[in-house]
Amino acid sequence: MNFSENLEKSIDELYKSFRVYKYNPKMDHCPCCIELSEVECLGNTKLRELSNDDLSKYAFKAITTWGGDNDFKYFLPRILELLFFYGLPVDCFVIFNKMYKCHWTKDEKNALDNFLWNASIFNTETKEWLDKYSFCEIFKFIDKSGILIEKWKFSNHERSLVNFVELFDTQFQCEIKFKKAMWKKVDTKKIATLFDAISKRKDELVKIFYHIEQSNPEVSWKILSVLEFIGLDISTLD
């Protein structure tokens, strides 16, 4: 996979920030559902070479029935790398729920935020479809969450623009506005930063709307929906 230079650096920094944690062959685990051989197997492969098959069961059971916080932190860089780029078959919210339970040092949190921001930007530009749950979890977790919107590239990345307007479809808008579904427990001030960040892109979105109104009416109408979402009177866009 061809990662950007910034993303490559953020991945390396993530591993570097968590290298203090070591594999523990004596991790506590539930003997009813986890075999000792499964625990030992995780130590037989280098961290950055662990596959989805190797880590999927652990990622699902980490902290709750398999190992503790420090064990989770050891595997976390690889878990996140697999989750965002290589299809780890574990729901995003499962991993983030475990992350919310952990205490992070300043360096760890900075490394996580930087990786998650760069991973999000990379996916907006390359994926044919964005996972709303992943976006929501990243937005909730990182400190400067507005940057996800402020740095979203539109002009030179058509796929990125389409992903943006399709992400903020009418259903997602309602969930955000009325704090439903995945947004239910998100702090109101945090949601306000989302509106503010989109509002800062208003003029750019209006300009793109006029530019593609005739050539791409489907996307242009979705742009109008986003503009209406942040409170713009779209009847003025004649």
Q: What is the largest CA-CA distance in the chain?
A: 67
pLDDT at 85: 93
Does this model's pTM top 0.75? My answer is yes
What is the 3-state composition of the chain as percent helix, strand, coil, each rounded to the nearest 5?
Answer: 65, 0, 35
Q: Which long-range contacts (CB under 8 A, 24 or more apart) does 89-96 make?
A: 89/52, 89/56, 90/56, 90/59, 90/60, 91/133, 92/131, 92/133, 92/134, 92/137, 93/133, 93/137, 93/182, 94/59, 94/60, 95/59, 96/137, 96/140, 96/141
Among residues 43, 64, 65, the alpha carbon closest in space to that of 55 is found at: 43
pLDDT tens-place values along the chain, 238 residues long: 678 889 999 999 999 999 999 999 888 988 888 888 888 889 999 999 999 999 999 999 999 999 999 999 999 999 999 999 999 999 999 999 999 999 999 999 999 999 999 999 898 888 888 888 899 999 999 998 998 998 898 865 688 999 999 999 989 999 998 898 889 888 899 999 999 999 999 999 999 999 999 999 999 999 999 999 988 776 676 6
pLDDT at 3: 81
pLDDT at 41: 85
pLDDT at 156: 59
Contacts of 100 (CB under 8 A, 6+ apart): 141
